[in-house]
Amino acid sequence: MDLASATWTDVRDLESELAVVPVGSTEQHGPHAPLGTDVLTAEAVADAGLERVDRTVIRTPAIPVGIAEEHRQFPGTMWVSPDTFRSYVRESVQSLAHHGIERVVLVNGHGGNVDALREVGARLTRDGDAYAVPFTWFEAVGGHSADMGHGGPLETALLRRVAPELVREGRIETARDGAADGWGDWTSHANLAYDSAEFSENGVVGDPAEGEKERGEELLELAADSLARLLDAVAEREVSRPDGR
Amino acid sequence: MDLASATWTDVRDLESELAVVPVGSTEQHGPHAPLGTDVLTAEAVADAGLERVDRTVIRTPAIPVGIAEEHRQFPGTMWVSPDTFRSYVRESVQSLAHHGIERVVLVNGHGGNVDALREVGARLTRDGDAYAVPFTWFEAVGGHSADMGHGGPLETALLRRVAPELVREGRIETARDGAADGWGDWTSHANLAYDSAEFSENGVVGDPAEGEKERGEELLELAADSLARLLDAVAEREVSRPDGR
Amino acid sequence: MDLASATWTDVRDLESELAVVPVGSTEQHGPHAPLGTDVLTAEAVADAGLERVDRTVIRTPAIPVGIAEEHRQFPGTMWVSPDTFRSYVRESVQSLAHHGIERVVLVNGHGGNVDALREVGARLTRDGDAYAVPFTWFEAVGGHSADMGHGGPLETALLRRVAPELVREGRIETARDGAADGWGDWTSHANLAYDSAEFSENGVVGDPAEGEKERGEELLELAADSLARLLDAVAEREVSRPDGR
Amino acid sequence: MDLASATWTDVRDLESELAVVPVGSTEQHGPHAPLGTDVLTAEAVADAGLERVDRTVIRTPAIPVGIAEEHRQFPGTMWVSPDTFRSYVRESVQSLAHHGIERVVLVNGHGGNVDALREVGARLTRDGDAYAVPFTWFEAVGGHSADMGHGGPLETALLRRVAPELVREGRIETARDGAADGWGDWTSHANLAYDSAEFSENGVVGDPAEGEKERGEELLELAADSLARLLDAVAEREVSRPDGR
Amino acid sequence: MDLASATWTDVRDLESELAVVPVGSTEQHGPHAPLGTDVLTAEAVADAGLERVDRTVIRTPAIPVGIAEEHRQFPGTMWVSPDTFRSYVRESVQSLAHHGIERVVLVNGHGGNVDALREVGARLTRDGDAYAVPFTWFEAVGGHSADMGHGGPLETALLRRVAPELVREGRIETARDGAADGWGDWTSHANLAYDSAEFSENGVVGDPAEGEKERGEELLELAADSLARLLDAVAEREVSRPDGR
Amino acid sequence: MDLASATWTDVRDLESELAVVPVGSTEQHGPHAPLGTDVLTAEAVADAGLERVDRTVIRTPAIPVGIAEEHRQFPGTMWVSPDTFRSYVRESVQSLAHHGIERVVLVNGHGGNVDALREVGARLTRDGDAYAVPFTWFEAVGGHSADMGHGGPLETALLRRVAPELVREGRIETARDGAADGWGDWTSHANLAYDSAEFSENGVVGDPAEGEKERGEELLELAADSLARLLDAVAEREVSRPDGR
- Position A144 scores a pLDDT of 97
Nearest to C98 among D6, D72, D98 (CB): D72
Q: Are C8 and F244 within 8 A, CB to CB?
A: no
Residues 6+ apart with CB under 8 A from C217: C161
Nearest to D3 among C12, C76, C99 (CB): C76
Question: What percent of chain B shows pLDDT beyond 70?
Answer: 100
Distance CA E221, CA E242 (A): 35
Q: Are F79 and E91 within 8 A, CB to CB?
A: yes
- The type of residue at B6 is A
- Position C15 scores a pLDDT of 87
Q: Which residue of B has its CA nearest to D12?
A: B245
Chains that touch C (3 or more CB pairs under 8 A): A, B, D, F
> How far off is chain D from F177, nearest CA to CA, in Å?
16
Sign of CA dihedral B77, B82, B86, B92: negative
Domain ranges of chain C: 3-236
> How far off is chain C from A79, nearest CA to CA, in Å?
23
Q: Which residue of F has its CA nearest to D196?
A: F242
Q: Which residue of F has its CA nearest to A244?
A: F99
Nearest to C242 among B187, B197, B226 (CB): B197
Distance CA B11, CA A35 (A): 10
Q: Are E3 and F64 within 8 A, CB to CB?
A: no
DSSP alpha helices (H): ranges in E31-113? 37-51, 82-98
Q: Which residues of A touch C (CB under 8 A)?
A: 8, 12, 99
> How far off is chain C from B210, nearest CA to CA, in Å?
24
Q: Are F8 and E91 within 8 A, CB to CB?
A: no
Preferred mutation among C194, C198, C219 to probe B, highest tally of B CBs within 10 A: C194
Average pLDDT value for chain C:
98
Q: What is the DSSP string of A70-136?
A: GGTTSTT-----HHHHHHHHHHHHHHHHHTT--EEEEEE--GGGHHHHHHHHHHHHHTTS-EEEEEE
Strand duo D103-108 + F18-23: pairing: unpaired
> How far off is chain E from D129, nearest CA to CA, in Å?
19
Strand duo E190-191 + E186-187: pairing: antiparallel
Cβ neighbours of F244 in C, within 8 Å: 99
Element (H, E) at C23: strand C18-23
Are the C-beta atoms of residues A117 and A23 closer than 8 Å to each other?
Answer: yes
> How far off is chain F from A103, nearest CA to CA, in Å?
26
Task: pLDDT band for D11, please (50, 70, 90 cuts).
Answer: very high
- The type of residue at F58 is I
pLDDT per residue as tens, chain A (245 positions): 999 999 999 999 998 999 999 999 999 999 999 999 999 999 999 999 999 999 999 999 999 999 999 999 999 999 999 999 999 999 999 999 999 999 999 999 999 999 999 999 999 999 999 999 999 999 999 999 999 999 999 999 999 999 999 999 999 999 999 999 999 999 999 999 999 999 999 999 999 999 999 999 999 999 999 999 999 999 999 999 999 99
Nearest to A78 among B78, B96, B166 (CB): B96
Our CA dihedral for C6, C12, C15, C17, rounded to 10 degrees, sits at 70
Q: Does the interface ipTM go beyond 0.95?
A: yes
Cβ neighbours of E190 in A, within 8 Å: 105, 133-135, 140, 230
Nearest to C194 among B73, B82, B125 (CB): B125
pTM of whole model > 0.90?
yes
Q: Which residue of D has its CA nearest to C12?
A: D75
Q: Each residue of D86-103: pLDDT tens digit?
A: 999 999 999 999 999 999
Q: Which residue of B has its CA nearest to C131?
A: B192
Q: Are B244 and D8 within 8 A, CB to CB?
A: no
Q: Each residue of B39-52: pLDDT tens digit?
A: 999 999 999 999 99
- Position C146 scores a pLDDT of 96
Q: Are D245 and E99 within 8 A, CB to CB?
A: no
Cβ neighbours of C202 in D, within 8 Å: 9
Q: Are E234 and A192 within 8 A, CB to CB?
A: yes
| A/B interface, count of CB pairs below 8 Å | 184
Which residues in chain F land under pLDDT 50? none
Q: Which residue of A has its CA nearest to B99?
A: A75
Nearest to A187 among E72, E122, E233 (CB): E233
Q: Domain C3-236, CATH 3.10.580.10 — does that match? A: no
**Pick from D109, D89, D88, D19: nearest CA to D59:** D19
Chains that touch B (3 or more CB pairs under 8 A): A, C, D, E
> How far off is chain B from C164, nearest CA to CA, in Å?
26
- Position D15 scores a pLDDT of 87
Cβ neighbours of C126 in B, within 8 Å: 69, 194-195
Touch between chain E and chain C: 3 or more Cβ pairs under 8 Å:
no
Cβ neighbours of B244 in D, within 8 Å: 99
Cβ neighbours of F78 in E, within 8 Å: 3, 60, 92, 95-96
pLDDT of C199 strictly over 90: yes
Q: Which residue of F has its CA nearest to E17?
A: F76
Q: Which residue of D has its CA nearest to C66?
A: D92
How would you classify residue A65: left for phi > 0, otherwise alpha for psi between -120 and 50, otherwise beta?
A: beta
Q: Are F65 and E92 within 8 A, CB to CB?
A: yes
Q: Which residues of E touch B (CB under 8 A)?
A: 244-245
> How far off is chain E from F244, nearest CA to CA, in Å?
33
Q: Each residue of F48-89: pLDDT tens digit?
A: 999 999 999 999 999 999 999 999 999 999 999 999 999 999
SS3 label, residue B69: helix
Degrees to nearest 5, angle at CA D194 with D189 and D195 = 130
Q: Are E34 and F9 within 8 A, CB to CB?
A: no
Chains that touch D (3 or more CB pairs under 8 A): B, C, E, F
Which residues in chain E land under pLDDT 70? none
Touch between chain F and chain E: 3 or more Cβ pairs under 8 Å:
yes
Residue length of chain F: 245
Q: Are E8 and D244 within 8 A, CB to CB?
A: no
Rounded to an integer, the average pLDDT of D185-205 is 98
- Position E15 scores a pLDDT of 87
Task: pLDDT band for C34, please (50, 70, 90 cuts).
Answer: very high
Question: What percent of chain B shows pLDDT beyond 90?
Answer: 100
Question: What percent of chain C shows pLDDT beyond 90?
Answer: 100
Q: What is the DSSP string of B200-217?
A: -SSS-BS-GGG--HHHHH
Q: Are D78 and C62 within 8 A, CB to CB?
A: no
Cβ neighbours of B101 in E, within 8 Å: none
Cβ neighbours of D99 in B, within 8 Å: 244
**Pick from A131, A156, A161: nearest CA to A221:** A161
Q: Which residue of E has its CA nearest to B100?
A: E244
Strand duo D18-23 + D103-108: pairing: parallel
